[in-house]
């Protein structure tokens, strides 16, 4: 789709593949291409799940510091909104999204992984938000998504120190969900994604929206979001198919409608 980010689809699983040598630095062009890929897979009804993958060596080593170094406040004030919007496009894909993390996922690379629903990391992977060491802070969602995922104290530890986290520690604190041998990262992510293929795609989208939107509001509002999503699913063919299959003790064949 783009020069440095493209979509590959196989067996109803889309891979958003990052390929900007040597370290998948996330410059403005890569950010925009990621957003284009995210919107494309979200709109493709034949895609049931998504894997984000940077290749065998590295997920993404962060933003392109050379590109940012000469930016003024005015430049970054304009660019930062685009940066967040590009990453948010991935976070809002209404399908299960799995980040397959090899090597480094640092700074913007870690923030990109945070936009996924699940994270599979290789045993030698390193994750972190080292922006503080440059005299800045995360600007693509790190202060917000990381704290929601691992809690504010652990997020502050990582962001205040800028330290790199091993795959084992990332698993312990909930920053990643699975750790596998490095060579198995992409395969493991695909296998996980395959569990969603053929599922009730409308219900999966509703569940994801209810969870993500509910985290941003008070409990009563979150319960109302859930109630509306829950009720709305009774207008779908998939709900009828699923409940009929249950009563008939058969396997449902969902249509995504």
E strands along the chain, which residues? 5-10, 13-18, 49-53, 97-101, 104-106, 118-122, 126-128, 164-166, 178-180
Partnered with residue 66 across adjacent β-strands are none
Burial degree of 52 (CB within 10 A; 0-12, 13-18, 19+): buried
Residue pair 212/88 in contact by the 8 Å Cβ criterion: no
Is 123 annotated as catalytic? no
Q: Mind giving me the DSSP string for 65-107?
A: HHHHHT--HHHHHHHHHHHHHHHHHHHT-SS-EEEEE-SEEET
Query: Per the residue annotation, which of 3, 8, 67, 131 is the catalytic one?
Result: 131
Two tokens at 54? 């940077």
Is 131 annotated as catalytic? yes
Query: Per the residue annotation, which of 111, 123, 169, 248 is the catalytic one?
Result: 111
DSSP 200: -
Two tokens at 98? 């799995």
The residues annotated as belonging to the active site are 111, 131
């Amino acid at each position: 789709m783009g020069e440095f980010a493209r979509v590959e689809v196989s067996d109803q699983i889309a891979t958003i593949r990052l390929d900007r040598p040597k370290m998948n630095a996330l410059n403005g062009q890569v950010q925009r291409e990621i957003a284009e890929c995210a919107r494309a897979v979200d709109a493709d009804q034949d895609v049931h799940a998504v894997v984000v993958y940077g290749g065998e060596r590295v997920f993404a080593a962060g933003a392109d510091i050379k590109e940012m170094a000469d930016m003024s406040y005015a430049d970054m004030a304009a660019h930062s909104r685009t940066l967040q919007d590009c990453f948010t496009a991935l976070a809002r894909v209404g399908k299960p999204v799995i980040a397959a993390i090899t090597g480094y996922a640092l700074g913007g690379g870690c923030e990109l992984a945070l936009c996924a629903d699940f994270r599979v990391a290789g045993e030698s992977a390193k994750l972190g938000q080292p922006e503080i060491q440059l005299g800045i802070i995360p600007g693509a969602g790190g202060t917000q998504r990381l704290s929601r995922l691992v809690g504010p104290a652990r997020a502050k530890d990582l962001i205040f120190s800028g330290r790199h986290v091993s795959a084992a520690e990332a698993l312990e604190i909930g920053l990643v969900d699975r750790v596998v041998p490095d060579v198995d990262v992409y395969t493991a992510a695909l296998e996980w994604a395959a569990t969603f293929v053929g599922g009730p795609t409308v219900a999966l989208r509703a569940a994801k929206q209810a969870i993500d939107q509910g985290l941003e509001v008070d409990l009563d509002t979150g319960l109302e979001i859930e109630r509306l999503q829950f009720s709305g699913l009774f207008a779908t063919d998939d709900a009828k198919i699923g409940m009929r299959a249950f009563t008939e003790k058969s396997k449902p064949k969902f249509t995504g409608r």
